[in-house]
């Protein structure tokens, strides 16, 4: 059997652009593991190699059950770096997305992932590539464990943002990630909402497959409501509309706030009682994250980026009602210390300021000139047009044939 270090290597369970993940076994501890190995063709690239090792070190910093832990790191005989993680024997949320899942359970699992994302944020790190496939599941004695994985494009909020590369999966990527806007934890809040929507419907919230699709999308068209279809309270549509807004100010201002809302909605949906969240304790001991686990004197979001200064906003102690009394967001979610200056206290009229750049100029700016060309829109005609053209051509052919026969005879 092939080995990497002391680990026995089994089947390949995942392949990415830069690395491959194998199922393995630690023969000493007699436990299954996941081994992530940098691709041979990238191992000699110092930038990619350093990024790969940085991911392992970053995962190692966190001590929370919601983030996949790294147990070992090393180099293969072929000089390919690798690191060893917990094995997710229950797959990922991507498998659940492809099959019917009770809506309450889907929201519970996403809320648990959001609590893991909150740990990253309190260490001043944003994930930037939250997708159903990067949220892993593992069976345990306490039930299903949700684990956040793949921090390959994660970014520290303490580092300068100038020159930050565009990264992420377009279908789950916030608008500002593609346009070079200021990035903070709210890009991950958007992605979490997109994951929840995809679990509830089987597909992402918007028909976006490429970066170009994201750049040219008409954001005046909101997400399709789903509450009636699922038999959910109307507040679910309100939550999705705000969390999936292109304007970060309209979204929940922390992953923990989104988790709280999802849990509250899951309480009244089928499947909400089939999953119990892990213990609430969060590791917030990292440097620069000394505020209390559930709020404190420091807001979890930076000052608003548009729509007026913080002084001009109404810093209310209770959220404005968005549904009749006894229903909806306002009645389900109490205000928390961390929501000061968040979407609870912002007006509903703020909008995104249009950019004066074309999609091609944006792509040239962030990917390099000439690296990607926006496809010219193609005019699409209805099927009836082509049927009429076909009938017309056939008639002309038959007429020409009849005239030819008469002329020859």
Instruction: Provide the token pair at 206.
Output: 């918007």
CA geometry: angle 350, 355, 358, nearest 5 deg: 150
pLDDT at 155: 81
Cite the active site residues: 129
In the CATH scheme, what is the code of domain 93-359? 1.10.510.10
pLDDT at 379: 58
Instruction: Provide the token pair at 34.
Output: 């996941």
Q: What is the pLDDT along the chain (409 residues), one digit of tens a residue?
A: 799 999 999 999 988 778 999 999 999 999 999 999 999 988 988 888 988 998 888 888 888 889 999 999 999 999 999 999 999 999 999 999 998 889 999 999 999 999 999 999 998 899 989 999 999 999 987 789 999 998 888 887 766 665 556 778 899 999 988 887 778 999 999 999 999 999 999 999 999 998 888 888 888 889 999 999 999 999 999 999 999 999 999 999 999 999 999 999 999 999 998 887 766 555 433 333 333 333 333 334 443 333 333 332 232 233 333 333 333 344 444 443 333 333 332 333 333 334 445 556 555 554 556 655 655 555 567 778 888 899 999 999 999 988 888 888 7
Q: For the chain, give every domain's residue range.
A: 3-86, 93-359, 379-409
Residues placed in the known binding site: 36
SS3 category, 25: strand
State the Cα–Cα distance between residues 116 and 284, nearest whole angstrom. 12
The pTM of this model reads 0.69
* C-beta of residue 4 within 8 angstroms of C-beta of residue 38: no
SS3 category, 141: coil
Task: Calculate Rg over the CA atoms of the chain.
Answer: 25
Q: What is the largest CA-CA distance in the chain?
A: 100
pLDDT at 322: 35
State the Cα–Cα distance between residues 104 and 101, nearest whole angstrom. 8
Q: Is 270 left (phi over 0), alpha (psi -120 to 50) or beta?
A: beta
DSSP 273-322: TS--PPP------STT--S-TT--SS-SSPSPSSSS-GGGS---SSPPP-
In the CATH scheme, what is the code of domain 3-86? 3.30.200.20
State the Cα–Cα distance between residues 170 and 131, nearest whole angstrom. 10
Helix (H) or strand (E) holding 4: strand 3-4
Residues placed in the known binding site for ATP: 36
Distance of CA 255 to CAs 93, 121, 190, Å? 18, 8, 9
């Amino acid at each position: 059997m092939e080995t990497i270090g002391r680990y026995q290597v089994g089947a390949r369970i995942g392949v990415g652009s830069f690395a491959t993940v194998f199922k393995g076994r630690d023969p000493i501890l007699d436990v299954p593991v996941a081994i992530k190995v940098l691709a041979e063709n990238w191992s000699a690239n110092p930038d990619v190699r350093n990024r790969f090792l940085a991911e392992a070190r970053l995962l190692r910093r966190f001590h929370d059950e919601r983030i996949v832990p790294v147990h070992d790191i090393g180099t293969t005989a072929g000089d390919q770096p690798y690191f060893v993680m917990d094995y997710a024997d229950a797959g990922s949320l991507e498998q659940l997305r492809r099959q019917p899942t009770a809506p309450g359970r889907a929201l519970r699992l996403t809320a648990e992932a959001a609590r893991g994302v909150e740990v990253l944020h309190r260490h001043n790190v944003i994930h930037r590539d939250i997708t159903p496939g990067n949220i892993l599941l593992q069976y345990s004695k306490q039930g299903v464990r949700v684990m956040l994985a793949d921090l390959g494009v994660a970014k520290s909020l303490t580092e300068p943002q100038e020159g930050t590369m565009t990264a992420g999966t377009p279908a789950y990527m916030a608008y500002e990630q593609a346009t070079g806007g200021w990035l903070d934890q709210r890009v991950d809040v958007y992605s979490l909402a997109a994951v929840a929507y995809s679990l509830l419907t089987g597909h992402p919230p918007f028909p976006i497959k490429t970066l170009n699709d994201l750049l040219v999308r008409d954001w005046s068209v909101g997400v399709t409501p789903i509450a009636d279809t699922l038999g959910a309270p109307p507040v679910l549509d309100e939550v999705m509309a705000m969390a999936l807004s292109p304007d970060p100010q309209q979204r929940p201002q922390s992953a923990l706030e989104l988790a709280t809302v999802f849990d509250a909605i899951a309480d009244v949906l089928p499947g909400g009682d089939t999953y119990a969240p892990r213990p609430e304790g969060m590791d917030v001991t990292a440097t620069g994250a000394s505020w209390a686990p559930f709020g404190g004197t420091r807001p979890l979001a930076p000052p608003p980026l548009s729509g007026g200064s913080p002084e001009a906003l109404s810093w209310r102690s209770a959220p404005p009602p968005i549904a009749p009394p006894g229903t909806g967001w306002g009645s389900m979610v109490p205000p928390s210390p961390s929501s000061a200056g968040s979407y609870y206290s912002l007006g509903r009229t703020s909008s995104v300021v249009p950019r004066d750049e074309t999609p091609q100029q944006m792509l040239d700016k962030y990917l390099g000139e000439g690296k990607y060309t926006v496809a010219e829109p193609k005019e699409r005609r209805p099927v009836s047009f082509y049927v009429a053209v076909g009938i017309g051509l056939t008639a002309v052919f038959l007429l020409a044939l009849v005239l030819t026969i008469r002329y020859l005879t």
